[in-house]
Amino acid sequence: MAMSNVGRPTQPGAATSEGHASLTGGRGLLQDEPLIFELGGWDKTGVDIDAPEHDASDLGGLVRAGPIGLPGLSEPETMRHYVRLSQKNHAIDLAIYPLGSCTMKHNPRLNEKMARLAGFADLHPLQPVSTTQGALELIDRLAHWLKTLTAMPAVAMTPKAGANGELCGLLCIRAAHEAAGQGHRRTVLVPTSAHGTNPATAAFVGYSVTEIAQTADGRVDLVDLAAKLGPDVAAIMVTNPNTCGLFERDIIEIARLTHEAGAYFYCDGANFNAIVGRVRPGDLGVDAMHINLHKTFSTPHGGGGPGAGPVVLSKALAPFAPAPWFVHGADGLELVEEAIGEAAQAFGRMCAFHGQMGMYVRAYAYMRSHGADGLRQVAEDAVLNANYIKARLGGVMTPAFPDGPCMHEALFDDAWLEGTGVTTLDFAKAMIDEGFHPMTMYFPLVVHGAMLIEPTETESKRELDRFCDALLALAQAAKAGDVERFTGAPYLAPLRRLDETQAARKPKLAWRPEPATPLAAE
């Protein structure tokens, strides 16, 4: 025979990975990665730029003299640096991202492609309006969808995110009250379960905040509401479905009481995903509601933005909407940049230019893809998925509101962890080791040790089962006294738990060069 024994060995060694550490601190594909300030050359660049023909001698002393302090990297180094960093992030594309109230759904890539068309991405906000008719038409179509889905007559498109939308809505309300001689109304009622942006926004507008109590079944306490709705109240801010994941059953009565007291009803639309295509806020008596395009309408969260927060408005508030807006004129769509004449009631301007066009394109592509039928299915599947999680976990973990269905998110408290030595935080950190992102924790504040799970409609049953199986296994471990699995978690993430106390006591908010090491005294 012509025997060949070349080639690689095919039998691995028998040693286990227990206690194995690499020599460099690297862990397989996971690389430690310094800051660009420790990597880059001060004279290196990853771009090739033409030499200027004219110098800056005309600017004399206005020119920056000293170094700026910016390192540069070549293109291959840049790719490596940021790709290595990316691998330290959890993402929707890796696994379920069940953050309650955040609506982490799949981000369709068609949206990304459309937003990058030169006809949208390479448009200047101030180029002649006649050269941007397609862009204005897209915004107009998106506005039509938003108005139709909410049964509201008007929409202010420009707010840049949810909190910015809240601000826009409250400024409309304030302007409406002032126009009606009701400027003395300076109080906003907010349920105790509200998202922090609600009271923060009210304070921003100079309103004082009064909390409304919650009933034992997690809804607005109508008796408390009625008692607090006085002549000083400008508005109520209610999230619906609320932050406990429950629909406010008395929503129509809440609106009626509010209007009877001369106040407006601001609805926080963060949870619109639960009812889109099925329930229209306009039918519930809402006067203003922001819509987070980065939640319900799938524009990516991007590690913390950008978002977009258009605000739909009732007939009473519509005249006060901020500039700019569009009107259909003889030569197509016209842009109204300033409130003059009949429109002089507009309260002002929320941002430079016309809002988040890049987000509008993505959201519109998403809406068109789903259509009226698909969006209805979105709400149904989002609610079905959340109730499925509640049903599967409810026997072991304790639902905060066990009676009746939840909407798009399932809320648990920490009663079931009592006596285990494991906290909500520990439990969440142990989920990281199992490959899942934790749920929203300790929010809403009204539920002890809250765990708020929002799966969204884009999770398959298989992924939901994988998730529920993992949580049930963890719950069993917690109850069996395997405490270290939790209190030390995560063990398998790129980093272990971080010292947030030290970070806050001695804030280090920017990289600084190491001071030159003094020569050893010896």
Q: Within positions 451 to 470, which residues make up the interface with other proteins, using CB under 8 A?
A: 457-461, 463
Amino acid, res. 90: H
Identify the residue among 251, 363, 430, 478 touching other proteins (CB under 8 A).
Answer: 251
Q: Applying CB under 8 A, does 47 fall inside the site for other proteins?
A: yes
Among 26, 27, 183, 196, binds other proteins (CB under 8 A): 196
- Beta-bridged to residue 326, according to DSSP, are 335
Q: What part of residues 372-431 is at the interface with other proteins (CB under 8 A)?
A: 372-374, 376-378, 380-381, 383-385, 387-388, 390-392, 404-405, 407, 428-429
149 binds other proteins (CB under 8 A): yes
**Should residue 177 be labelled a site residue for other proteins when binding is judged by CB under 8 A?**
no
Find the binder of other proteins among 17, 19, 124, 519 (CB under 8 A).
Answer: 124
Q: Assess 303 for contact with other proteins (CB under 8 A).
A: yes
Other beta carbons less than 10 A from residue 318's beta carbon? 19
Options 26, 27, 88, 231; binder of other proteins; rule CB under 8 A: 88
Asked whether position 265 contacts other proteins by CB under 8 A, the answer is no
Query: Rule CB under 8 A: is residue 252 a binding residue for other proteins?
Result: yes
Neighbours of 142 (CB within 10 A): 24
| Residue from the set 31, 123, 222, 232 that interacts with other proteins by CB under 8 A | 123
With beta carbons less than 8 A apart as the criterion, state whether 199 and 266 touch. no
37-74 burial code (b ≥16 CB/10 A, e <16): eebbeeeeeeeeeeeeeeeeeeeeeeeeeeeeeebbbe
Q: Which of 100, 169, 269, 300 is the binder for other proteins (CB under 8 A)?
A: 300
Among 27, 82, 183, 480, binds other proteins (CB under 8 A): 82
Among 100, 169, 191, 199, binds other proteins (CB under 8 A): 199
Non-local (6+) Cβ contacts of 226 within 8 A are 257
| Least spacing, CB of residue 313 vs other proteins, in Å | 16
Residue 31 CB, shortest distance to other proteins, in Å, is 12
Phi and psi torsions of 189, nearest 5°:
-95, 130
2-31 residues in contact with other proteins (CB under 8 A) are none
Q: Does 357 bind other proteins (CB under 8 A)?
A: yes
Phi then psi dihedrals of residue 191, to 5 deg:
-65, 155
Of 169, 318, 174, 167, nearest to 234 by C-alpha is 174
Contact 272/286 with Cβ under 8 angstroms? no
Only one of the segments 226-234, 258-266, 475-483, 495-503 lies at the binding site for other proteins (rule: CB under 8 A); that segment is 495-503
The answer to whether 228 and 249 have CB atoms below 8 angstroms apart is no
Nearest to 222 by CA among 188, 194, 258, 186: 258
Residue 297 DSSP code: T
Per the DSSP assignment, residues forming a β-bridge with 136 are none
Q: Is 228 in the site for other proteins (CB under 8 A)?
A: no
Task: Point out which span in 5-13, 83-91, 177-185, 224-232 binds other proteins (CB under 8 A).
Answer: 83-91
Give the span between the Cα atoms of 247 and 191, in whole angstroms. 14
Q: Does 67 sit behind a cis peptide bond, omega within 30 degrees of 0 on the bond before it?
A: no
Rounded to 10 deg, the angle between the 424-433 and 461-479 helix axes is: 130
Q: Which two tokens stand for residue 126?
A: 């101030």
CB 202 within 8 A of CB 170: yes
For position 483 contacting other proteins by CB under 8 A, the verdict is no
Q: Is 449 in the site for other proteins (CB under 8 A)?
A: no
Which residue in 2, 118, 216, 521 binds other proteins (CB under 8 A)?
118
For other proteins, which stretch binds (CB under 8 A), given 15-23, 73-81, 311-319, 446-454?
Answer: 73-81
SS3 state at 398:
strand
Q: Select from 215, 207, 125, 97 the least CA-distant residue to 454.
A: 97
Residue 185 or 392 with smaller CB distance to other proteins: 392
Q: Is 43 in the site for other proteins (CB under 8 A)?
A: yes
Query: Quick check: 225 binds other proteins (CB under 8 A)?
Result: no
Residue 327 in contact with other proteins, rule: CB under 8 A: no
Nearer to other proteins, 392 or 485 (CB): 392
In this chain, which of 27, 70, 184, 328 binds other proteins, going by CB under 8 A?
70
164 binds other proteins (CB under 8 A): yes
Residues contacting other proteins: total by CB under 8 A: 207
The Cα angle at residue 280 between residues 276 and 286, in degrees rounded to 5:
125
Q: Based on the shown chain and the rule CB under 8 A, indicate whether residue 344 belongs to the binding site for other proteins.
A: no
Nearer to other proteins, 259 or 368 (CB): 368
Helix (H, G, I), strand (E, B) or coil at 375: helix
Binding to other proteins by residue 215, rule CB under 8 A? no
Instruction: Find the helix or strand (DSSP H, E) in which 426 lies.
Output: helix 424-433
Residue 226 or 388: which CB sits closer to other proteins? 388
